[in-house]
Structure 1
Amino acid sequence: MNNIMVGQDSCLVPLVPRLVLKFFIDFDGTITTQDVGDALFIKFGGEQCRDIVQEYYDEKISAVECFHKETTACGVVTIAELNDFLDAQTIDESFVGFVQYCKANGFELYILSDGMDYYIHRILNRYGVGDVPVYANILTLQSTDTPLNPLSRGDSSDKKLSRVRLVPSFPYTDEVCTRCASCKRNHMLNLSSDETIIAYIGEGYSDRCPVKFADVIFAKDELLKYCRREEIPHAEYSTFSDIIKYVDKMIHKNGRTKLRLKKRRLAELARREVFAGG
């Protein structure tokens, strides 16, 4: 693993800003190199899962309904095959250095995902960053004696294999919005205060909502296109190394340490509107 080692000048200088910078980070496709959730459901649920997701994009079903349909399509799998699949997933390895950078500078960071906690925790633990707080949907592996899904490569006659169904649950839904099963906006606002500069890092569809409430936005892929189209101020990035460089420039200048990032006016107004209405 090629961890980024941040130098003493940028890591160990204590920051005492009036405002506090917090990072809120998407998982699938942002920390990982592909959308693990999509890949998992297609592997175990087959091509019908693509049609289910399209129903969701077409706003025919909610995010919760989408996940229920996808997990049902997966049927019964073995824990071994599921974990083997997850253990083959990779991340942007500069994320490990980014976590170190945030800890050294006293920046809080949180992972906000509309994916499933089971695979998120397994992948993070494998890379040694399992202590980063995660807010996501819950995936329970429910034991069963039912025959395996035909797409599974396990031997149905082998009773030693632990067979499970994938059972999702959703503790973080929003009462009004059904586009995400785990409301990133609510997590972000609940974990922030008036003194917080909210930085959001993402790349996809489920990141569109939270960026409207963020002061600093790091975007790539589909989120980058969305921000450009909606004229939302943002910084383009490819890896977490880019974000480290960007933030470092904002807090270290001419040998002085100062947080130069500012609140975004429209984001502040959007946050106030949520609290005023709720």
Structure 2
Amino acid sequence: MTAKKKIVFCDFDGTITVNDNIVAIIKHFQPEGWEELVNKTISTEISIKEGVGSLFRLLPTSMKEEVVQFGISNARIREGFAEFVQFCKDNDIEFYVTSGGIDFFVYPILARYEIAEDHIYCNKSDFSGERIEILWPHPCDEHCSNDCGMCKPTIMRQFSEEQYERIIIGDSVTDFEGAKLADQVFSRSHLTEKCRELSIAHTEFATFYDIIEAMKQKG
């Protein structure tokens, strides 16, 4: 029997980065009405797609340069990430970034790690109108009705469980549907709480060095 090929689906905000960039951008510029929208999104009263789209719509496109610069400069990369990307390359493990983040900060931040753009899934931005619009090129398939915006389970389903050992790395409720499909889950923060709640096997991590060690031990 041929061994399954390992494939990693890694979240960006709060996972690759230490902080959540979307919330940080909105908190920094504090457009009127932002707090209620953030609370409704986090509590899942409204969908991720509706919440994030509405939050950025509060910002005028005249602020593009400031918003983009803050988004890039504010991000702090979690310890061991560069080494983990290299570990995946050295061990022939396919590595994908599956991010609910936005292209204007995700691509520039990840550029130094030489990850192919077709291995980075994220939302896109449109600065052509009066307000910032978020575009959603990776919507839910017929198996998901969560209005995810950037649907991680839909992407994972493109890689069959018969051929791939699917590994997910994440920190939030947006990673939970993907965790249900995964063979192995590396979690922190809200994702850990959700996995405990529904008895999904998971390994907690603080840095990417923890994940490297765990994957080495598992073989």
Q: Would you call these one fold, judging by a TM-score over 0.5? A: yes
Shift of 1:173: 1.7
Secondary structure, counterpart of 2:39 in structure 1: helix
| Aligned equivalents of 1:68, 1:246: Cα separation in 2 | 37
Shift of 1:229: 1.6
- For 1:171, give the aligned amino acid: P
| Aligned equivalents of 1:240, 1:47: Cα separation in 2 | 37
1:1-278 maps to which residues of 2 (within 5 A)?
A: 18-46=3-31, 48-85=33-70, 86-125=72-111, 127-131=112-116, 133-142=119-128, 165-174=131-140, 176-251=144-219
Q: Which runs of 5+ in 1 are unaligned?
A: 1-16, 145-164, 252-278
Secondary structure, counterpart of 2:113 in structure 1: coil
Once the two structures are superposed, what CA deviation does each residue of 1:140-164 show, in whole Å capped at 9, x if it has no partner? 23276xxxxxxxxxxxxxxxxxxxx
- Paired residues, what number? 214
| TM-score normalized by the length of structure 2 | 0.88
Q: Where does structure 1 differ by over 6 angstroms across 4 or more consecutive aligned residues?
A: none
Secondary structure, counterpart of 2:127 in structure 1: strand
Shift of 1:47: 6.1
Q: Which runs of 5+ in 2 are unaligned?
A: none
**8 A Cα contact 1:220 1:237, kept in partner:** yes
Paired-residue identity, %: 29
- For 1:21, give the aligned amino acid: K
Shift of 1:131: 2.7
**8 A Cα contact 2:61 2:129, kept in partner:** no
Shift of 1:203: 0.7
| TM-score normalized by the length of structure 1 | 0.71
Once the two structures are superposed, what CA deviation does each residue of 1:25-83 show, in whole Å capped at 9, x if it has no partner? 11100000100011112223436222112223444433222222111211234343223
CA gap 1:68/1:250 in 2 versus in 1, 3 angstroms: closer
